[in-house]
């Protein structure tokens, strides 16, 4: 990087372009507000190191029972190290959503920080992040949003959300293995960084320690070009003509809206089909009228059903699903399924067809009829 020869200049330019593209995807004010890293979990642990010293023993942080462990254990570790009090926001096992009155009830004058799940990688629930962030920021808390599950299914606008941090993983939005963190500019500027002397003192460089994966960043650019293509060819109905947003943001958002619309038909077939199988409980929103509050990731269990055995049966028919906890231990524990093998999770996305979803449902019904 930053060499005085052509290939280095090209690599430097590519790195800048990847930051600019991600800034547009998140609608961040500046490419400098975007920090690349190996994955969400590593970036989050890094942020616990640099945010931790801001807090004092007895300060309170909030996390939720809907987190992937990547947005849970790092913050609990920070809290244990610094003597912070951790409060956990529950969600309803009837509606699979938060009750925002319960969030209000957790907030005190000592609330300093909250880690929040944008969309659950088990339940599929999309949370009212803008409202949650507003509540927490009004109380003076820093907000850290995990958008890993949401980013492949919906448009993101960090300025509209008004969050302090938001993190996603490119491999979930059809790109390579890269984590991408947005941080509010003034915070990134003022926070300390674990960096070498030779590394610049400004963001994002100071947080991107060591040699970065330029091939990964090039792949992220490719994924964003794909989303732009999707937006302009299949999302024209969503292309705002007079938007104040950058053109690339408009195209990406159009792609995500077109995707979400199409994915609702996948959710409908999946949820409806699974709900018809005797004994099966879908752990998530099942009312089609509320499908704009879910992504098409659908988890289920049935008393006596071994999730792993079903996943292996489906694999034998070319249908690949996850079983267990998918690292979202707080969710599986809250469901009371931690000792029962967790759930079976079917995660179609925009490149799947209704026929594929129906095939999966038919196979699951066939298996459940005899097990
Ligand atoms: C909701 C959610 N958060 C965080 C993570 C962790 O992301 P990474 O694998 O990039 O560390 C995942 C990964 O599956 C996830 O689904």
Q: In the predicted model, is pLDDT for residue 261 greater than 80?
A: yes
Q: Are residues 178 and 46 in the same domain?
A: yes
Tokens of 116: 């929040």
Q: Is residue 239 part of a domain?
A: no
- Whole-model pTM? 0.98
Please name which of 178, 132, 130, 134 lies closest in space to residue 156, comparing C-alpha atoms.
Answer: 130
Pairwise CA distance, residues 31 & 106, whole Å = 35
DSSP 8-state symbol, 127: P
Q: Is residue 169 part of a domain?
A: yes
Test site for ligand 1: of 148, 168, 331, most ligand atoms within 8 A of the Cβ: 148
Q: Is residue 277 part of a domain?
A: yes
Q: Is residue 241 part of a domain?
A: no
Q: How far is the CA of 327 from the centre of ligand 1 (A)?
A: 8
Q: Are residues 106 and 150 in the same domain?
A: yes
DSSP 8-state symbol, 213: -
The residue from 176, 195, 229 where one domain ends is: 229
Test site for ligand 1: of 41, 42, 72, 170, most ligand atoms within 8 A of the Cβ: 41
Q: How far is the CA of 148 from the centre of ligand 1 (A)?
A: 6
User: Across 31-148, where does the E strand assignment appear?
Assistant: 34-37, 60-64, 85-89, 111-117, 142-146
The CB of 67 under 6 Å from ligand 1? The reply is no
Nearest ligand 1 atom to the CA of 149 is: 1
Q: 84-117 pLDDT, tens per residue?
A: 999 999 999 999 999 999 999 999 999 999 999 9
**Omega before residue 68 within 30° of 0, cis:** no
Q: Are residues 50 and 107 in the same domain?
A: yes
pLDDT band at 243 (very low <50, low <70, confident <90, very high): confident
What pLDDT, on the 0 to 100 scale, is given for residue 304?
A: 96
Q: How far is the CA of 118 from the centre of ligand 1 (A)?
A: 12
Beta bridge partners of 167: 146, 181
Q: In the predicted model, is pLDDT for residue 242 greater than 80?
A: no
DSSP 8-state symbol, 283: -
Start-to-end Cα distance in the chain? 58
Neighbour tally for 193: CB within 10 Å: 20
Q: How far is CA 294 from CA 142, 149, 166, 301, 334, in A?
A: 26, 11, 19, 18, 19
Q: What share of the chain in percent tops pLDDT 90?
A: 98
Q: Are residues 140 and 108 in the same domain?
A: yes
Test site for ligand 1: of 67, 119, 152, 169, most ligand atoms within 8 A of the Cβ: 169
Nearest ligand 1 atom to the CA of 119 is: 1
The CB of 238 under 6 Å from ligand 1? The reply is no
The CB of 68 under 6 Å from ligand 1? The reply is yes
Q: Is residue 79 part of a domain?
A: yes
Tokens of 337: 């399924």
Edge-to-edge order in the sheet of strand 322-324: 281-282, 298-301, 343-346, 322-324
The CB of 146 under 6 Å from ligand 1? The reply is yes
The CB of 39 under 6 Å from ligand 1? The reply is yes
Nearest ligand 1 atom to the CA of 327 is: 14
Q: Are residues 224 and 303 in the same domain?
A: no
Q: Are residues 59 and 132 in the same domain?
A: yes
């609702």: which residue's tokens? 264
Q: How far is the CA of 370 from the centre of ligand 1 (A)?
A: 34
Nearest ligand 1 atom to the CA of 117 is: 1
Q: 338-370 pLDDT, tens per residue?
A: 999 999 999 999 999 999 999 999 999 999 999
Q: Is residue 339 part of a domain?
A: yes
Q: Are residues 216 and 279 in the same domain?
A: no
Q: How far is the CA of 41 from the centre of ligand 1 (A)?
A: 7
* Domain enclosing residue 114, as ranges: 6-229
The CB of 24 under 6 Å from ligand 1? The reply is no
Q: Whose CA is nearest to atom 7 of ligand 1?
A: 40
What pLDDT, on the 0 to 100 scale, is given for residue 251?
A: 97
The residue from 195, 229, 263 where one domain ends is: 229
Q: What share of the chain in percent tops pLDDT 70?
A: 99
Q: Are residues 138 and 259 in the same domain?
A: no
Q: For the domain that residue 224 is a member of, what is the CATH number?
A: 3.40.640.10
Q: Are residues 206 and 258 in the same domain?
A: no
Q: How many domains does the chain have?
A: 2
Q: Is residue 246 part of a domain?
A: no
Q: Are residues 64 and 199 in the same domain?
A: yes
The CB of 179 under 6 Å from ligand 1? The reply is yes
The residue from 229, 262, 290 where one domain ends is: 229
> Are 282 and 300 a contacting pair, CB within 8 Å?
yes
What pLDDT, on the 0 to 100 scale, is given for residue 240?
A: 74
Q: For the domain that residue 314 is a member of, what is the CATH number?
A: 3.90.1150.10
Please, what is the average pLDDT of the chain?
Answer: 97
How many residues does this entry show for the chain?
371
> Are 96 and 284 a contacting pair, CB within 8 Å?
yes
Q: 173-205 pLDDT, tens per residue?
A: 999 999 999 999 999 999 999 999 999 999 999
Q: Is residue 244 part of a domain?
A: no
């Amino acid at each position: 990087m930053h060499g005085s020869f052509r290939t280095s200049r090209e690599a430097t330019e590519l790195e800048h372009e990847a930051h600019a593209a991600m800034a547009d995807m998140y609608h961040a004010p500046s490419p400098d507000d975007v920090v690349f890293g190996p994955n969400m979990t590593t970036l989050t642990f890094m942020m616990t190191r640099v945010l931790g010293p801001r807090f004092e023993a007895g300060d309170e942080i909030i996390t939720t029972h809907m987190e992937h462990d990547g947005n849970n254990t790092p913050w609990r570790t920070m809290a244990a190290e610094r003597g912070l009090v951790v409060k956990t926001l529950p969600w309803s096992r009837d509606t699979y959503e938060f009750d925002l009155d319960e969030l209000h009830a957790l907030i005190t004058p000592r609330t300093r920080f909250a880690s929040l799940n944008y969309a659950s990688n088990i339940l599929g629930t999309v949370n009212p992040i803008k409202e949650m962030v507003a509540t927490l920021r009004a109380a003076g808390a820093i907000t850290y949003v995990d958008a890993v599950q949401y980013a492949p299914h919906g448009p993101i606008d960090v300025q509209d959300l008004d969050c302090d941090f938001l993190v996603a993983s490119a491999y979930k939005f059809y790109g390579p293995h890269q984590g991408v963190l947005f941080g509010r500019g003034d915070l990134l500027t003022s926070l300390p960084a674990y960096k070498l002397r030779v590394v610049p003192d400004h963001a994002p460089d100071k947080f991107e320690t060591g040699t970065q994966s330029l091939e990964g960043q090039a792949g992220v650019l490719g994924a964003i070009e794909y989303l732009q293509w999707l937006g302009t060819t299949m999302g024209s109905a969503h292309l705002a003509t007079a938007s104040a947003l950058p053109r690339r943001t408009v195209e990406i958002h159009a792609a995500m809206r077109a995707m979400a619309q199409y994915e609702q038909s996948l959710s409908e077939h999946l949820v409806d089909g699974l709900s018809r199988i005797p004994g099966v409980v879908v752990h998530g929103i099942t009312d089609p009228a509320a499908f704009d509050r879910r992504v098409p990731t659908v988890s289920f269990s049935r008393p006596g059903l071994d999730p792993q055995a079903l996943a292996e049966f489906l694999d034998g028919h070319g249908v690949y699903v996850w079983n267990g906890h998918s690292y979202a231990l707080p969710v599986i524990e809250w469901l009371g399924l931690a000792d029962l093998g967790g759930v079976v999770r079917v995660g179609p996305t925009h490149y799947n067809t209704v026929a594929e979803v129906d095939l999966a449902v038919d196979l699951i019904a066939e298996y459940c009829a005899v097990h």
